[in-house]
Every structure is written in structure tokens, then in C-alpha cells.
Structure 1
Amino acid sequence: MAEMATEEEEFLTKDGTVDYEGNPADKRKTGTWKACPYIIGNECCERLAYYGMSSNLVLYFKNRLNQSSATATKNNSDWSGTCYITPLLGAFLADAYLGRYWTIAGFSIIYVFGMTLLTMSASMPGLRPACTAEDKCQSTDGQSAVFFVALYMIALGTGGIKPCVSSYGADQFDDADPVEKEHKASFFNWFYFSINVGALIASSVLVWVQDNVSWGWGLGIPAIAMAIAVVSFFTGTRKYRYQKPGGSPLTRICQVMVASFRKYRVNVPDEKDQIKESTVDPWRLCTVTQVEEFKAIIRLLPIWATGIVFAAVYSQMSNLFILQGDTMDKRVGHSKFKISAANVSVFDTLSVIFWVPIYDRIIVPAVRKFTGHKNGFTQLQRMGIGLVISIFAMVYPAILELIRLRMVREHNYYELDSVPISIFWQVPQYFLIGCAEVFTFIGQLEFFYDQAPDAMRSLCSALSLTTVALGNYLSSLLVTIVTGLGGKPGWIPDNLNYGHVDYFFWLLAGLSFVNLVAFVVIARRYTYKKPVGTLR
């Protein structure tokens, strides 16, 4: 009997995960790639819904809500930023009270309600903006209010999904099992791959529907996709592994700070005194584990900060890249068929879909032979390569805009809606952004999960996402600074033919270079956390 019990224990996870009934998780029935397809399917559909709505949003603000170019860009950046701030709330609830499963489930339902209201605001008479035959639209304050309420419901909904879903997928692999740990590194690549499958459909099919059929259908289909995402997630319930909530990580961090402040002049007590004080108020005396968790978070912050400028670069795909493309010739070849400026973002998605398997199956094995590292590059090396590529992702559109403006001046095209230069010249800048994503964003996902304290993984995933939020807010701030100062049109006027969007791209390229230098200095000083099972 003892032998049978020992054999059964060999199939149980060693990382504290349990099954849906609360029993120790059985490796034969739960987790790994048995559970991940449901999580990846959920993420694919959720991202289809998100990008199906957000890819063309700046043009909805401008053409349907009748906002200026600068206002549309700022509103889009502010909303996108909020979508990456709310994960702090979702992470707090997941780590402290609900666990990742119920956090994802509950906030997904809020997301569905937001998408439904957004669809109604774009399709129902009385809620949708009134448009003339010439497609000139004007919205009332009430119509705009309904639209923004729906948008920020979605921002709240996504806040419970973003910080949890990648960590929840990684939870399906036992770090104490060498085979499963190796598969986890591959999971992050394919997880990001699924994001871009959803984004591919959104930036091609859904953007076309929005421009050529109706915004009602263009937003209704993402709402249906989000409902499918919820169904996909619940379907895998019996196959998942669950980490029990470990209490509020923010509370533990605050306790360390308060206790440290109170005792910064107190001598270290001897062992006997420590035993006596072990039952005192945790706001006066913290455990060693709490202190180590706090130190781990502090060590992550410099790396975290270097992600903000990269996120500002990334945000241009849904902002100035779209506005730039809207001023160019959108015909496909010499035909009469036209695409939307937002359609070109499909090349970012194609770039990611191209580079993920290339990186996972070709680059990693090749680099591994030279570095000896099991993943080829270290996580920080991978992120640094992406930061280098992001500089060129800003240099190229700056040069393209310089060429476009030169054509405007030479041929007096100032009042033309579109300059006769093909929008497909934007493809390289999207392709470069996609390549940078594969290195930086995926590396960041894996880095913050691996380097986080076990009980703070949702929080650290959310922390990594806040770089995207702050990047969007940084972009919004820069737009405010360079637009309309001193009564002048600034760099980003309503008619970009009178502006200098190229200056804005050069500014971001310069900031990216400075950021890269800072990252290299910080990364060289960083010491990785010891992996599970390491004794010294």
C-alpha cells in the first residue's frame, strides 16, 4: 500500500497547485498542453475582440464623433493606457482573494457587457451618431457618453484578464518538473502567437467590415468573439491546475515598508527576542519571506521602467501610423479597391506570426549552440534586441513622412485628402514593430513571471502591463506638448499636410536610443532569481 501511495505521489505536482475539486493536481489529468488550448483559445478570441475594436478606434473618434486629429489621438492613447492600468486591480483580486480562474471568469463577463453596449452605441438609432449622405457625422453629448461608458467598461473587463491569463497558462506547468519547465518557455511564445492570430483577423476582416459594411457589424462580431472566449475558458475547468490565493501582495509590501520605517533605528534583536516577537503585529515585524518578496519587486522596477518608452513606440500603430496612412493612396495596385489605413496593421500581426515560430524553432536552437543557455538568449538579452529594433521602427516612418511632406510641398498637395504615395510603403514599419514585439514583449512576459515571487505573479504580470499604460500616457503627453502651442498648428494638426509628424517619430527614436542605453546599464547589473530546486 505504501508503494502504491508513493507511486501516486509521483504523479502529483510539487508546486502547490490543486485540481478543480481542491485536491493536489494529478499531472496525468491536469495542466500542461491538455489545459492550455482552452486558455490560448480564450486569449485568441479576447484579442480578436480587443483589436477588432481598437485597431480602427482613432478613426471612429475622428470621423464618427467628429474629433480633431490631436484629440482623437489623445483619447485613443488615454483609453489604451487605462486598459493597461486596470490590470493592477485584477492582479490584486487574483492574488489576494479570487484566484486567477475566478478573476478571469468574472471580468470576462463585464467585458461581454461592455462590448454589447459598444455595439448598441454604434448601431441603434438614437445612440449612434447622425451622419449625412457625404458621411459627415455629428454626435450628441449623450451619444458620446454612452460610447465612452462602454469603452471604459471594456477597459475594466480587460483588467481582470490581462494580468491573469498568461500567468494562469504558466501555472499549468510545474516548475519542479524539468520537462514541464522547459515546455513553459515554449508556452509563452505560442501564447503570444495566439494573440496575433486574433489580431490578424481583427485588423483585416473586421476593419474591412467597419469601413465597408457598418460599425454595428464591425463591433458586433468582436462582441460575439468575446462571448466565445468565455465559453472556451469555462470548457477547460476540469483540466486546469489552480494556485490558491496567497493573500494581498500589496498589503505585504506595505507592511514591510511600514515596519522598516518604524524600526530603522532599532538594533537587530537576538534569536530569543525574535521568537518572542513572532506573534506581534505584522505592521511592526515582518517575515523573512515578506522582506524577500519586497526586495524582488524593487529589483524588477528598473527593468520595468525601461519598458515605458518601448510601449510609447508600440502605441503609434493605433495612433499616428493610422493617421499617416489615412493621408496616403489606399488603392491596391492600380485597381479601384481601397483598404483602410487600419488594415495595414495586419503586417504587424503577420510579422509576429512569422517571427514566433522562427524564433522558437530556428533562432533558439542555433543561438543555444553558442551561448549554452537553454533558451538561446537570456530574457534580458531578448528584450534588449527588441529595443534595438524599435529604434529603427521609428526611424523608418520618420523618413517616409519626410518623403510624403516633400511631395506635398513640391506639388502643392496641401488640400488633398490623400497624397499619391502608396500606403503599402508603411509595411516595413509595421513589420519592424512586430519583430520588436517578439523579442521585447514576449521576453518581458516570461521575465516578469519567472522573476516574480510565487505569490505575486499576477501582480508582476500586471506590473509589466503598466509599462504599456504609461507608454500610452507618455504618447498622449507628448502629443499635447507638440500640438497647438502658441496658437500654431503644431506637429499634429487636423490636416497632416501642414504638420510635422516626422518630428514626432524622430523624437521617439531619440528617446528609444536613450532608453536602450539605460536598459543595457541596468541589465548588466541585474542578478537573476535562483530557479526552483536550486540550493545555492
Structure 2
Amino acid sequence: MSNLSDEKLPTDSELQKQDSDILRDPSVISNDIDDEGRELPSEEEMKTLRHVSGNIPLRCWLVAIVELAERFSYYGLSAPFQNYMQNTPEDSPKGILGLNQQGATALSYFFQFWCYVTPIFGGWLADTYLGKFNTIFVFCIVYIIGIFILFITSIPAITSKTTATGGFIAAIIIIGFATGGVKSNVSPLIADQVPKVKPHIKVLKSGERVIVDPHITIQNVFMFFYLMINVGSLSVIATTQLEHHVGFWAAYLLPFCFFFIALAALALGRNQYIKTPVSDKIVNKTFKCAWIGLRNGFNLEAAKPSNNPEKNYPWSDKFVEEVRRAIYGCKVFVFYPIYWVTYGQMTNNFISQAGQMELHGLPNDILQAINSMSIIVFIPICERFVYPFIRRFTPFKAITKIFFGFMFATGAMVYAAVLQHYIYQAGPCYNFPKACAPEFKTVPNHIHVAIQAPAYFLIAMSEIFASVTGLEYAYTKAPVSMKSFITSLFLVTNAFGSALGIALSSTSEDPKMVWTYTGLATACFIAGWIFWFCFKHYNYKEDEFNRLEYATEEEYKKPTLDGLQPIPSANSYKGLA
């Protein structure tokens, strides 16, 4: 028998190490396992372990090609619009319709307004009747018809100013209608291709335990979706050069031909895409559910079947919580019109501003490509380096990113105002570029157009933070069966921004432009800070919002000490109104 006094007992530090090793041993962790054998994290692990993205399926990229082709056509044909509308064939740069800067800016904002009102119809049609895939296919055909009308009525040999004006108006109405049907459905369709799995544990080759977070996967999907948008938008380089050297008809022929790639991508992937079933009148049910809550003092508990079994409501308690979450998400969109009116400067007043500067042989509307190239460069940098670095120290939640988007947009307007001041300070025409005397009609003020580049860069950074995150927020907060419709509600904020732009278009003339940009900078700055103070507490509820996305009807209720409680509980939303 051994002498106990001769045995070496473990020290306190060794005992602590053994306990730590036991906790780290996957074989003894008592976490739940999902149906696929994946280890689900505990609440403590959700807070302490690093969150990473899952794999993005290849079918996502096939949907992205559809968006690339559509955006190639949209930006390619709209880039020459300001010159086409503002100037005459005798002006420099040349145009067709001769509507002057005020008229062209107002009609440009109308086109944007129309493009972003029509997604409401497209989202409703997809979620209620046709489904996302079929809706996109139908509206792509309508889109091609609109571009063809624009192309035909811009050919000098067979058109006149009257015909060009009529054709242009008909084309932008058809194209705007088709844009709504495509835009409201492509981003939800690409996100639908990501498998709906719960956050789960993964052990890296280094031995580090991380959480594969589906929300971060969705975030990356929308980042690369937006990347594809801007790869497509590089078409402005080609179409503005065609406009400058050949004519507007050539600039519109290229998008017409390229759009057929979208139809090809849809046809090739028709049997590979994950297609969410169409829900019977889901939009009507949602509004009815919200109306019941409104009639009961903004209390959606009154719409739950479990609280009112005698009512025979055609939805579940989980659906009511999804509607509640969607309402909170839509509140975030309220301040976006201010952002969009500043963003819209890039497609109208920035182009006119460049036309007042020395172009050195470049088209005045080609600098829009700087915006696209900045996004293409910085989206991978943000996804690979910036966001993971920030997440090592603190969660970088949606509301924070949107706030930074507003601040970058403010910076763009401040820069544009300062630049416009220097344009007015330069000769020969000072406050009235190209308009002080007939002999100076084609002579810009003496300032180099390259100085405008930072304004486009700042707009690009604002898009990465505000626009990408807005699309992501719309998708993740929408009920599963109405992703397209809630996405369309986000897109319609762009229409409201365009309406504001139309109201402000009377200020788009010399020598008022410094104050126009200054006013927009002030409005965007104030809106950004009000947005932050109104919604910063949503950051703390982000995980609970997202948790509902992956709960099944069976998992929606979980046992507690007091009985059954929804996941997430209704109490967790208190104070978010």
C-alpha cells in the first residue's frame, strides 16, 4: 500500500488547467447537436467566440450574373442621360433634348423615383403569385423592350427632337417598371440560395473554436452582390466613350445587347436555384396582422392565435413575431430618403459640375466609374480585413455601419461644395461657367476635372456602409415568405429621396450650387445623428432579431421555469418602438 504522503498532489493552478481542458474538450461539452451533427453554441460561446462566415454556394454567383447584366445595362444607359436631356446637338458636351440643367436634373430624379417605386409592385407580385424567379424572368423581357425603344429613337437618321423626346419618356417608364420587378427580387433570390442553418461551432486547423454565423454569411453575400452591381456599373466607361465618340444610339445599343446575358443566366440556373414557395396572399395577411396590432394600441400580442384561439387567424404566433421584427426593420428605413438625395447627386449635378471643368478629352460623365472602381476595391478589403478586425474587439452591427454611411455621404457633399466654390473662383466665367458670354459657351472654367474624384470615392464608401447594409437589413428582418416585398420597401426609400431631389431641383443652377451642396451636407449630417440616437439600441437586440430567422415552428416555443415562451420573447422587444 502506497504512502499517501509520498504522492504529489496537483497544485491549484494545475487543477484550474485541468478544468479548462475539460471545458475545451468537445467530447464533454454539453451543447446541443443539430440534425446535421453540427454542434450548437451556448449563450456564453455566442458572446465570447469569434464569429466567421460560412461558405457561399456556387448558385449564388449564377444569380449574381443576372444582377451584373441588369446593372450593366441600367448604369450604361443612364450614364449619358444627363447630357442627353440637358444639352442640344450644338452644345459641348452634345445632347439631344435641350432641357437645361434644371429640367434634366428634375427628369433624372423622376427616373430614379419611378425605378424605386415600382419595386413595391414587383415584390408583391413575386411574394403573392409568381415567385421571385418567374417575376425576374418576365420583367427582364419587359426591360429589353424598353431599351430597344430608347435605342431606336436615338438614331439620328430616323428620329427628330419630338420623336426622341417621346421615345425617351416611353423608354424610361418601361425601363423603370422593369427595374422594379428585377431589383425587388434579385437580392432576396441570391440570399435565398444560402442554406438556413443555425449558428454552429467549427474548429479551425489552428485549433481555434469559432462560430459559423449565418448572419455574417448573409452579410458577405450582400457585400459580394453589391460588388457585382459595381462590376456591372463599369459599363459607364464604355457607354460614355461611345456617346462621346460615336453617338447616343451606340451608347444605348451596348446595354441592349448585353442584357441578354441575364436571360441566359436565368435559363441556365432554372433547375439549380432554391425557390421559396409562394405564400397565399402573404402581403395581405401581413397588413391584416399589423392592423390588428394597431387597433389594439400597437400591441401585436392581440394578433397571436394562442391568445385568441376563437379568432381562427390564418397565421402562427411565429409569423406575428416575424411581422413585429419587420416593423422594427422598416423603422430603420425612415431616414434613408435623406441619404438617397445626396447619393443622387452623383448621377446628375456631379455630371453637370464636371462639365464646367477642364475635361482634357474625357467625357464629363465618365467619372462615375470612380465610384464603381472604389467599391470594387474596398468591398473585398472590408470583407477580408476591416470587418473581421473590428469584430475581434467589438461587434460591428448594422446600425453602426449605416451611421457611418451617412457620415461618408456628408463628407462627399462637403467636398462637392468646396470644389464648386473653387470652380466659381476660376475664370473665365466665374459664377456662370460657359454662360458669361456667347464666345465662352464651350470654354470651361480653368480647373482640372480630376479634382472631382474624391467626391465619387466618398459616395462609394457611403454605399458600402449604408446601401449594402440596408439591403441586408431588409432581407434579414423580413418574414421568410415576403422577403421581396420588404426589400421593395427599402428600395422605395430611394424613390422618396428622388422626390426630394425633384423638389430641390430648382436650386440646381449657377451660382447656387455651393449652397445646394452645403444644404445637402447639413441635412445628411443631422439625419445621420438623429438616426443613431433613435436606433442605436437595436444593435443590442440584433442577435435576438436574427435568432427568429432560423427557428422552426416547433422550436418557436421553448420550456422555461414559467412554462412556454416564444423565441425570442416578446419582452425582449420592449422599448424598441
TM-score by length of 2: 0.76
> Corresponding residue for 1:116?
148
Equivalent position of 2:251 in the other structure: 218
**Matches of 1:152 and 1:342 in 2, distance apart?**
23
For the residues of structure 1 that align with 2:333 and 2:248, how far apart are their CA atoms? 37
Structure 2 partner of 1:21:
none
* Change in CA separation of 1:39 and 1:265 when aligned onto 2, cut-off 3 Å: closer
Q: Secondary structure at the match of 2:275?
A: coil
Determine if contact 1:34/1:239 at 8 Å carries over to the other structure: no
- How far does residue 292 in structure 1 lie from its aligned partner after superposition? 3.0
How many angstroms does 1:322 deviate by? 0.4
Query: CA distance change for structure 1 residues 263 and 397 in 2, over 3 Å: closer, same or farther?
Result: closer
Residue 412 of structure 2: which of 379, 393, 399 is its match?
Answer: 393
1:107 equivalent in alignment to 2:139:
yes
Q: Secondary structure at the match of 1:245?
A: coil
**1:53 paired to 2:82:** no
Aligned to 1:436: 462
> Counterparts of 1:78-477 in structure 2 under 5 Å?
78-123=110-155, 125-126=157-158, 128-129=159-160, 139-140=161-162, 142-176=163-197, 178=199, 181=214, 182-200=216-234, 202-259=235-292, 274-278=308-312, 288-289=317-318, 291-331=320-360, 338-371=361-394, 373=395, 377-408=396-427, 414-415=436-437, 416=440, 417=442, 418-477=444-503
Give the deviation of 1:506 after TM superposition.
0.2
**What SS class does the counterpart of residue 195 from structure 2 fall into?**
coil
The one-letter code matched in structure 1 to 2:532 is V
1:297-353, Cα deviation, whole Å (9 max, x unpaired): 33123310111111111100111000010111000xxxxxx1111101111111101
Amino acid at match of 2:370: F
1:91–1:458: 8 Å Cα contact kept in structure 2? yes
Identity %: 26
Q: Distance in 1 between matches of 2:514 and 2:448?
A: 17
Q: 1:525 is matched with which residue: 537, 546, 550?
A: 537
3-state SS of the aligned residue for 1:76? helix
Gaps of 5+ in 2: 1-34, 38-54, 88-95, 200-211, 552-566, 569-577
Please say if residues 312 and 471 of structure 1, whose CA atoms lie closer than 8 Å, have aligned partners that are also in contact: yes
2-structure distance, mates of 1:444, 1:265: 25
| Aligned partner letter, 1:459 | F
Do the aligned partners of residues 180 and 297 (structure 1) sit closer, same or farther apart at CA in structure 2, a change above 3 Å counting? Answer: closer
Query: Which amino acid is 2:530 matched to?
Result: A
User: Which range moved further: 270-279 or 286-295?
Assistant: 270-279
Distance 2:145 2:156 in 1: 16
SS of alignment partner, residue 343 of structure 1: coil
- Say if 2:406 and 2:524, in contact at 8 Å, map to a contact too: yes
Letter in 1 for 2:277: K
Partner residue in 2 for 1:25: none
Counterparts of 1:358 and 1:100, CA distance in 2:
31
Q: Which amino acid aligns with 1:36?
A: C
**How far 1:207 sits from its partner (Å)?**
0.9
For residue 37 of structure 1, what is the amino acid of its counterpart?
A: W
Q: Distance in 1 between matches of 2:304 and 2:186?
A: 44
Structure 2 vs 1, CA of residues 463 and 421 (structure 1 numbering), >3 Å: closer, same or farther? same
Corresponding letter in the other structure for 1:405: Y
Runs of 4+ in 1 over 6 A off after TM superposition: 261-273, 409-413
Shift of 1:294: 3.7
Equivalent residues of 2:75, 2:236 under 8 A apart: yes
CA distance, structure 1, for counterparts of residue 69 and residue 546 of structure 2: 35
How far, CA to CA, are the matches of 2:297 and 2:329 in structure 1? 23
The one-letter code sitting in structure 1 at the alignment partner of 2:116 is: Y
- Of 146-155 and 247-256, deviating more is 247-256
3-state DSSP of counterpart to 2:393: helix
Aligned-partner Cα distance in 1 for 2:402–2:504: 24
- Residue 44 of structure 2 is matched in structure 1 by none
CA shift digits 1:34-73 (9 cap, x unpaired): 2122111111111110001111211101120111210110
Q: 1:343-380 CA deviation, whole Å, 9 max, x = no partner? A: 01111111101110110111022112111x3xxx1111
Match of 1:71 in 2: 103
Give the C-alpha shift of residue 76 in structure 1: 0.6
Name the CA distance, whole Å, in 1 between partners of 2:267 and 2:305: 50
Q: CA 1:72–1:291 in structure 2 vs 1: closer, same or farther (change >3 Å)?
A: same
Aligned to 2:558: none
State the 1:291 CA deviation.
Answer: 3.7
SS at match of 1:306: helix
Q: What value does the CA root-mean-square deviation take over the aligned residues?
A: 2.7
Structure 1 residue 248, shift from structure 2 partner: 3.1
Count of matched residue positions in the alignment of Structure 1 and Structure 2: 468
Counterpart of 1:275 in structure 2: which amino acid? Answer: P
Contact 2:304 2:316 in 1 (8 A): no
Whole-angstrom distance in 2 between the partners of 1:228 and 1:247: 32
After superposition, the C-alpha distances for 1:20-43 in whole angstroms (9 at most, x for unaligned) are: xxxxxxxxxxx9522122111111
d(CA) in 1 for partners of 2:521 and 2:297? 43
Letter in 2 for 1:238: N
Using the TM superposition, give the Cα deviation of residue 271 of structure 1 relative to its aligned residue in structure 2, in angstroms: 9.4
Contact 2:406/2:466 (<8 A) preserved: yes
Contact 2:151 2:249 in 1 (8 A): yes
Q: Deviations over 1:491-528 (max 9, x none)?
A: x33xx3xx221110001001011101111112223233
Deviates more, 1:247-256 or 1:227-236: 247-256
Q: TM-score, normalised by structure 1?
A: 0.82
- Cα distance, 1:274 vs structure 2: 3.7
Compared CA separation, residues 445 and 424, structure 1 to 2 (3 A): same
Aligned counterparts of 1:519 and 1:238: Cα–Cα separation in 2: 43
How far the C-alpha of 1:256 sits from its partner, in A, is 2.7
Q: Where does the alignment leave 5 or more consecutive residues of structure 1 unmatched? A: 1-8, 12-30, 130-138, 332-337, 483-491
